[in-house]
């Protein structure tokens, strides 16, 4: 029974820790999808050759059609509206509209996701990014949940090991107290024996 309890505890602790670990950066990011930081941050790095040169006037259609490096839809849930304090994709304020227009202009000129983000950071500071940067103090936004999860797992493991040892220690000391079953019963026996006696008495067996 104790082993079953220990397994349930472990499972519960693992589930809670996993939820906390995946949920924290998502809360920080404010995304409904719960995407987690570093992988999302690095998703734009494999864009291929740079076609980042300006192709002409802002908002102009490129002469040779080519797949854009990124898009507004790709960016608007990773950057914030600095006035509204919400994700750009959820914001409808005049400033949000202007920000979207700026992003569209840059996308039309072939800018990559990282270039657009860098331009937004240049305009509004690093707080315009929905996900914390993976460097400096901001790294703590990713490290703290991981460290917390590891500490929780370690604490849980220690608690389970101790709990499992206690009944084993009790059952080892129990028979030593009296050399005969009568002696063990007379002295009150171990906790397990006492509970067994109580159960037997309850059912009048």
Report which of 181, 185, 187 is spatially closest to residue 201, judged by C-alpha positions. Answer: 185
Left (φ > 0), alpha (ψ -120 to 50) or beta: where does 58 sit? beta
Residue 90 or 184: the one with the smaller Cβ distance to other proteins is 90
Q: Is 141 in the site for other proteins (CB under 8 A)?
A: no
- Report how many residues bind other proteins under the rule CB under 8 A: 14
DSSP, collapsed to helix, strand or coil, labels residue 174 as helix
Other CB atoms within 10 Å distance of the CB of residue 94? 9
- Of the candidates 107, 108, 75, the residue with the CA atom closest to the CA atom of residue 91: 75
The Cα 161–Cα 155 span in angstroms is 10
Q: Does residue number 123 form part of the binding site for other proteins (CB under 8 A)?
A: yes
Cβ proximity to other proteins, 83 vs 90, nearer residue: 83
Tell me if 98 contacts other proteins by CB under 8 A. Answer: yes
Member of 34, 38, 60, 125 binding other proteins (CB under 8 A):
125
C-alpha to C-alpha distance for 170 and 183, rounded to whole angstroms: 16
Interface region with other proteins, contact rule CB under 8 A, candidates 29-37, 116-124, 139-147, 194-202? 116-124
Residue carrying the six token digits 């397994």:
7
Q: Which residue, 187, 175, 159, is CA-closest to 2?
A: 159
Rounded to a whole number of angstroms, the minimum distance from the CB of residue 154 to other proteins is 15
Residue 119 vs 184, nearer CB to other proteins: 119
95 counts as binding other proteins under rule CB under 8 A: yes
145 binds other proteins (CB under 8 A): no
Q: Which is nearer to other proteins, 86 or 95 (CB)?
A: 95
Q: Which spans of this chain sit near other proteins (rule: CB under 8 A)?
A: 82-83, 93-95, 98-99, 102, 122-125, 127-128
């Amino acid at each position: 029974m104790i082993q079953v309890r220990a397994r349930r505890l472990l499972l519960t602790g693992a589930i809670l820790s996993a939820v906390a670990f995946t949920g924290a950066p998502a809360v920080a990011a404010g995304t409904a999808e719960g995407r987690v930081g570093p992988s999302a941050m690095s998703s734009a790095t494999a864009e291929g050759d740079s076609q980042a040169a300006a192709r002409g006037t802002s908002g102009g259609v490129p002469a040779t059609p080519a797949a854009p490096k990124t898009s507004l839809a790709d960016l608007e849930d990773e950057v914030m509206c600095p006035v509204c304090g919400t994700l750009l994709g959820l914001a409808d304020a005049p400033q949000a509209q202007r920000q979207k227009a700026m992003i569209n202009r840059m996308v039309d000129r072939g800018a990559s996701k990282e270039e657009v983000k860098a331009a937004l950071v240049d305009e509004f500071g690093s707080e315009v990014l929905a996900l914390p940067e993976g460097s400096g103090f901001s790294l703590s936004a990713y490290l703290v949940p991981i460290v917390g999860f590891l500490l929780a797992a370690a604490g849980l493991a220690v608690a389970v090991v101790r709990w499992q040892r206690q009944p084993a220690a009790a059952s080892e000391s129990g028979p030593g107290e009296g050399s005969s079953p009568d002696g063990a019963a007379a002295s009150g026996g171990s906790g397990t024996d006492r509970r067994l006696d109580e159960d037997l008495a309850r059912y009048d067996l």
